[in-house]
Chains A and B, each alone.
Chain A
Amino acid sequence: MTRFSQWKLSMKLTVLVAVSLAGSLVFGLLAYGTLDTLKVNGPLYAQIVSGKDLIADVLPPPAYVIESYLLVHEMQEASDPAELSTLIETGRRLRQEYDARHDHWARELSDGSLRRAMVERSYDPALRFFEIRDKEFIPAVQAKDIAKATQLLHGPIKASYAEHRRAIDEVVELTAESNLAHEANAAHVIQRKTWMLFMVAFLMAALNISLAVAITRNLTRRISLGVEAAKQVAGGDLSGVINVDGDDETGALLSAIKSMTQSLSSLISRVKESSVALMSTATQISATSKDQESTVKGFSASTAEIAAAAKQISATSQELLRTMTEVRSVAATSASLAESGTAGLGEMDVTMQQLSSSTGSISAKLSVIREKANDINLVVTTITKVADQTNLLSVNAAIEAEKAGEYGLGFLVVAREIRRLADQSAVATLDIEQMVRLMQGAVSAGVMEMDKFTEEVRRGVKSVAQISSQLAQIIEQVQGLSGRIDLVNEGMRSQSNGASQISQAMTQLTDGARQTAASLREFNSATGSLREAVGGLKQEISCFTVAQ
């Protein structure tokens, strides 16, 4: 087996083809020998046919009625009834055999002249022969009617037999002909098949050899390609290009090598890039750490300043605390002032309310006066009417007195007096009217003034209420202020505390900065060793060639 696995692939394939060719040659020779032994007119065929010929030669043929014909003659000459019955029995058996063979050939033979001769032309006279024998001849023989039997034997029986014999001869002739034709056909078929066998064998051999050659060439070419590529990769050259043609196992192998090369190539190029980036990063880190070192130094100075500032804040907030206490006392004073102001406003409000009610009563009284003036007006009107009537009366009285002539003279004087009185009363009523009108005007003006005054009082009450509420707000806010001042105080105190805490924290921070500077120095040395390591990596990778 070790020897076999050390063989080359082309050698293995050649051996395989040679073995299969030899096998097929042996198979073909065996098949030819078998054919030659078993062919028609061959030795085996000749033996079988001679056996059959022997049986046909010695056996009386059941499909040919010659034996029955012989038996009829024997029946005619038989004298003993026992011998006759045996003969009759034999005749019946022969007829059954004939019928069986006839049925057999009626089934077996195909349509054609042979079937017509055998099944129709030979069967009809045979049937007639058997019918005459069984129904006429045998009763005649049994009845010892020799004359009739002889007459039948030489008459219809002989004729039927002769006809049957002719048909059988024809059958024999036809069968011999067809046998000859079958034999010739078989020989021809065998000759042709043999030739075809040789042809197929030759073709198969040629195809085998050419296929083996093609497969060998294909396989070895691809594998040598893969081997070449692998050798390149081993040597560090990753820039080679591999052509993959085909999906079979060797193709898969090639494509696997190709993808392997590609991924290796990309990996190497990425490693190269990364090492460059790593180098620059290391440089940056070292620069940054130097920066940080200087920053830390500045940082510690700043923390010292901050600590001083925090101390100042603490002092300032304590001062502020004192100021806030003063503010608080001032606010309390202003709150008490506002409260006393509210009380004063309350008194003022009460006074205003009283004023409002008194103006209301004055208004009511003024309206009473107006009503009275109206009453006076009514009276004046009445007086005016009376004066008018009086005047009219005086005029009419004067007229009547004039008409009465001398008798009316005295009456005329009376009438004149009446008129004078009426005129005076009219003047007086005019004066009263004037005065009442003046009074009414004054009352109206007073009412208007009172209304205005009431309005103003109402407004005053409203503004007092407003001021009062504003004062209440002020008080509230001042009281709230005191709470807020407490809050501010609290805040100040906590600020002062916070400032001292900040100062402490700053001291701690300075210590921390010092420590940070030390650790940065360590970090710097670490960065130097990182750079050295990256340089080594770069050198290692530079032995790989990568396609650009």
Chain B
Amino acid sequence: MLVVIFRVSDARYAIPCERIIEVIPLVVLRAEPRAPAWVLGSFVYRGALTPVLDLCQLMGGYPCPKRLSSRVILTDCTLPDGSSIRAGLLAEHVTEARRLNATPLSGASLGSTPYLGPVVQEGGNLLQIVHADRVLLGSEAALAELFSHRSLTAGETDRTATQP
């Protein structure tokens, strides 16, 4: 399984590549009014308005530093109502795509966060799988407020935009 590795406050995480559309450098974003701190803003990706979420804010509770290695991972996220939108996830140290051969470690994980997957030992380090498509399943109320007014149009344009 090929994964893209990133870091949140010294812990290493991996996103499987099947879900990743592209990794792009951080561009200038249009700020989203009345958005929570982990929603950074929107930009136009291939003709469609695409929101960017801060994984550092969401998982570690601190704003992601603006570095060359801080990159946006474009992916399709499933919304609580079952539809999906395209979104960018900003993360630190996104410099490597690696093939994982190890099996996930057994044992119960403490968190009940929907997007956190199993932990894998790779070399001497621990890696936790992050299911990028489930990132938006965590905080329904905020998401509902954020996306209710445009879920349909956004969903429509998304699908049309991703087809090619």
Which one of A399, A402, A415 lies within 8 Å of B23 (CB-CB)? A399
Which residues from B are CB-within-8-Å of A370? none
For residue A412, which residues in chain B have a CB less than 8 angstroms away from its CB?
Answer: 2
Asked, given contacts A398-B97, A399-B97, whether A392 binds B23 with beta carbons under 8 Å apart, the answer is yes
- Give bound CA distance, A396 to B69, whole Å: 14
The smallest beta-carbon distance between B91 and chain A, in angstroms, is 12
Alpha-carbon gap, A345 to B88, bound state (A): 78
Q: Which of the residues B2, B25, B68, B95 comes within 8 Å of A402, measured between beta carbons?
A: B2
CB-CB under 8 A from A452, the residues of chain B are: none
> Which of chain B's residues have a CB closer than 8 A to the CB of A392?
23-25, 71
CB-based contact A395/B68 at 8 Å: no
B71 touches A402 (CB 8 A): no
Chain A residues numbered 389-414 whose CB sits less than 8 Å from any CB in chain B = 391-392, 394-396, 398-399, 402-403, 412
- We find that the number of chain A residues with CB closer than 8 angstroms to chain B is 16
Q: Is the CB of A388 within 8 A of B68?
A: yes
Partner of B2 from A384, A385, A399, A419 at Cβ < 8 Å: A399
> Considering only CB atoms, which chain B residue lies closest to A393 in the complex?
B23
- B119 located at the interface, meaning its Cβ lies under 8 Å from any Cβ of chain A in the complex: no
Which residues of chain A from 422 to 442 have a CB within 8 Å of any chain B CB? 423
Q: Which residues of B are found within 8 Å of A394, using beta-carbon distances? A: 97
Q: Complex formed: what's the CA distance from A31 to B18 in Å?
A: 198
- SS class, residues of chain B in contact with chain A: strand
Chain B residues in 8 Å Cβ range of A385: 68
Closest chain A residue, CB of each to CB of B68: A388
Residues of B in contact with A, size category:
10 to 19
Query: Looking across the interface, which residue of chain A has its beta carbon closest to that of B5?
Result: A395
- Given the known interface contacts A394-B97, A398-B97, A402-B2, the answer about A384 and B68 at a Cβ–Cβ threshold of 8 Å is yes
Inter-chain contacts of A391 with B (CB < 8 A): 95
Contact A395 B2 (CB under 8 A): no
CB pair B25 A395 closer than 8 Å: no
Q: Report the Cα distance A396→B25, complex, angstroms.
A: 11
> Which of chain B's residues have a CB closer than 8 A to the CB of A388?
25, 68-69
B-binding residues in A (CB < 8 A)? 384-385, 388, 391-392, 394-396, 398-399, 402-403, 412, 415, 419, 423
Seen from chain B, the residues whose Cβ lies within 8 Å of a Cβ on chain A are: 2, 4, 17-18, 20, 22-25, 68-69, 71, 94-97
25 sample A-B contacts, Cβ–Cβ < 8 Å, listed by A number: A385-B68, A388-B25, A388-B69, A392-B23, A392-B24, A392-B71, A395-B4, A395-B94, A395-B96, A395-B97, A396-B22, A398-B2, A398-B17, A398-B97, A399-B2, A399-B4, A399-B17, A402-B2, A402-B17, A402-B18, A403-B18, A415-B97, A419-B95, A419-B97, A423-B95
